């Protein structure tokens, strides 16, 4: 073996220094690439975005968007319809043709009001009951459910939780 064919050895310190530098550049490169606007191709939807599109329920921060044309939300198209959105701690009802939204968190002990029985929303933990206007009907809760502003345009319902 001549000198040109001799293996080159790298110290552990040099290897780790190079590896850490490369890892840092890769980690920083992802956010910079995501901010780039030079790409004109459509990006594939995330799994969460695809699921929201299929269910008709999208939760983004404090905004909930419902597409009443989808199966999971179609119950709200008729009076008496009810929807519990666990991920957003929200209940939505169709009260005589008006879509209303409330926190699902019971003011008594923080359990989710997750079902409707007749004209009442029911907390399964201690039996508190609320009207479809959010008002307290029966305790042990001492107050009603907080209502969220709702806009309804054609088949799209937007709930603002702020």
Secondary structure of residue 85 in the 3-state scheme: strand
Burial degree of 137 (CB within 10 A; 0-12, 13-18, 19+): middle
Q: Which of 117, 129, 55 is nearest to 88 (CA)?
A: 55
Q: What is the pLDDT of residue 162?
A: 79
Q: In this structure, how many other beta carbons lie within 10 angstroms of the beta carbon of residue 77?
A: 13
* 63 touches 159 (CB < 8 A): yes
Q: Distance between CA atoms of 158 and 92, rounded to whole angstroms?
A: 11
Secondary structure of residue 127 in the 3-state scheme: coil
Q: What is the pLDDT of residue 24?
A: 47
Q: Which domain, by its residues, includes 24?
A: 3-35
Are residue 91 and residue 119 in the same domain, yes or no? yes
Q: Is residue 75 part of a domain?
A: yes
**109: pLDDT confidence band, cut at 50, 70 and 90?**
confident
User: What is the tally of structural domains in the chain?
Assistant: 2
Which of 43-47, 109-113, 152-156 reaches the highest mean pLDDT?
152-156
**How much of the chain is in helix, strand and coil states, percent to nearest 5?**
30, 30, 40
Q: Is residue 42 part of a domain?
A: no
Q: Is residue 40 part of a domain?
A: no
* 99 touches 92 (CB < 8 A): yes
Are residue 23 and residue 53 in the same domain, yes or no? no
Burial degree of 72 (CB within 10 A; 0-12, 13-18, 19+): middle
The pTM score is 0.66
CATH number at residue 136: 2.102.10.10
> Is the predicted pLDDT of residue 155 greater than 60, yes or no?
yes
Please state which of the ranges 20-34, 84-98, 112-126 shows the lowest mean pLDDT.
20-34
**pLDDT tens-place string over residues 49-95:** 444 456 899 999 999 999 999 988 989 999 999 999 999 999 999 99
């Amino acid at each position: 073996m001549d000198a040109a064919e001799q293996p080159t050895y790298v110290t552990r310190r040099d290897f780790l220094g190079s590896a850490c530098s490369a890892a840092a550049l890769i980690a920083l490169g992802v956010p910079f690439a995501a901010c780039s606007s030079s790409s004109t191709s459509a990006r594939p939807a995330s799994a969460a975005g695809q699921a929201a599109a299929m269910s008709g329920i999208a939760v983004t921060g404090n905004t909930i968007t419902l597409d009443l044309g989808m199966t999971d939300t179609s119950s709200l198209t008729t009076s008496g319809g009810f929807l519990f959105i666990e991920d957003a701690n929200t209940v939505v009802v169709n009260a005589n043709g008006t879509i209303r939204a409330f926190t699902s968190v019971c003011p008594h002990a923080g359990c989710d009001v997750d079902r409707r029985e007749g004209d009442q929303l029911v907390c399964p933990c201690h039996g508190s009951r609320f009207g479809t206007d959010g008002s307290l009907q029966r305790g042990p809760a001492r107050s009603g459910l907080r209502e969220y502003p709702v806009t309804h345009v054609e088949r799209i319902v937007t709930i603002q939780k702020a």
